[in-house]
Amino acid sequence: MLKIMFWQFFALSALCWSRSPAAALNAWRTKRLGLWTRHLEARWDAEYRYRGKVRPDLRYRTQILVVDSGDGMRARTCEAIVDSLCGSSAADIDCASTVLGPVVAQQERPAAAELCALLGLPPSPFEQPPRRLIPSDLLSTSRWDVVLCVDLATLERVRSLARAVNVLRRAGGSVPSGDRWHEDAGLLQWSSHLSGEGEGAAVLCASDFLAGCVPITREGLVPEELQPYLAESTAGSQKLLDLPTCSNDGLASEQLGRAKTLLGAAATCSVGLITYLEAAMLEHARKLYRRDLAASFPRPRDLATSSLVSGGAGGVREDPQGGGASATVPYEEAAQHMQFDHAVPGGLSDDERRRIFDEYMDAKDVGPGRAEGGGIDVSDLGLTMDDLFGPMGGL
């Protein structure tokens, strides 16, 4: 028995050491992204209500909160870059920055702010002091779809606080307030409670979007002014864990060098975030469109089991001579029908809808997770089940 246990331990150790540190880091990032995608998809599946009305057109509006410490310069740089990328992105994003803990007084015109101004990035994140992170930002019912931390230390702190805040709120307790609420010993004790498992799925690190599963950025997304900084940072992006700090200490050349390094790292992570959101949004929109097709039109392969087929809401017309179904509904008529009877999801071009409709009517698209429902098809995002359940454990 002891010999068997020894060989089991040896085999497990060999399996763990067979992966390089880079591969283990990639698997760790990919698993976190997979768990967050499930969380995000659940929010997209729910009815989005605005002022008491269901607004399907706002389904994919993603709310991002970037968390930093000190003067919040790294978070504000990310906010400025994301706001700049949104103009050329299909993803509808609202981004804000915040600081965990006391806000450190901002130095006069930091180098990073000066560089962002020269590149034409939005100045609004740098014009006002950053807001402090509050407990309600970490509730599962908050407006934020993802809380993005600028380094791993902040990630661990915010994830612990997210678990504690949600567990305490469900237990009916009151969450501490004040400037140093995040240091309250009573609150932090709740972070290890078993009922808090999974509460940190929406808290990620900015460098998580450097995982290998993230699609390569498409042409036209990155402004020409940012491309040189992005190119310089991409070479070593896989090793990046924390966004570098930036200050006005030292010589002017040193300040500018630190600002360029921060800008390149923040741009690389922000581009990964945008491209991942675009891919996830597109796959989810495809799923909803197939779901609406299944609700509106029967499949041709299902006609054999149906004696009567409605021409108004069906996918085929009944032959007036009594010969059964003979002609499919044209795409234009189907699109008009679904426009009035269903919340047609956004994120799909007319050509993409037509392609999916033709595949559906030809009964080619019968795989799991497609018209029959299911979650996002992770194969379209470059993920595998081994990636989602890798060796690095859970949250």
In the prediction, which pLDDT does 135 show?
92
pLDDT, tens digit (0-9, with 9 covering 90-100), for 157-215? 999 999 999 998 888 888 888 878 888 888 888 887 776 677 788 999 999 999 988 88
Half-sphere exposure at residue 153, Cβ-oriented, CA atoms within 13 angstroms: 6
Domain boundaries for CATH 3.40.50.2300 within the chain: 20-284
Confidence of residue 22 (pLDDT cuts 50, 70, 90): confident
**pLDDT at 134 exceeding the cut of 80:** yes
C-beta separation of 395 from 35 below 8 A: yes
Q: What is the pTM of this model?
A: 0.77
Residue 56 has pLDDT above 90, yes or no: no
**Distance separating alpha carbons of residues 331 and 268, to the nearest angstrom:** 40
Higher-confidence residue of 81 and 319: namely: 81
Helix or strand (DSSP H, E) at 328? strand 324-328
What is the phi/psi pair of residue 327, to 5°?
A: -140, 140
- Tens of pLDDT, residues 320-329: 434 333 346 7
3-state secondary structure of 326: strand
Matching residue, tokens 């498992």: 197
Q: What is the chain's mean pLDDT, rounded?
A: 76
Q: Which CATH number fits domain 20-284: 3.40.50.620, 3.40.50.2300, 3.80.10.10, 3.40.50.720?
A: 3.40.50.2300
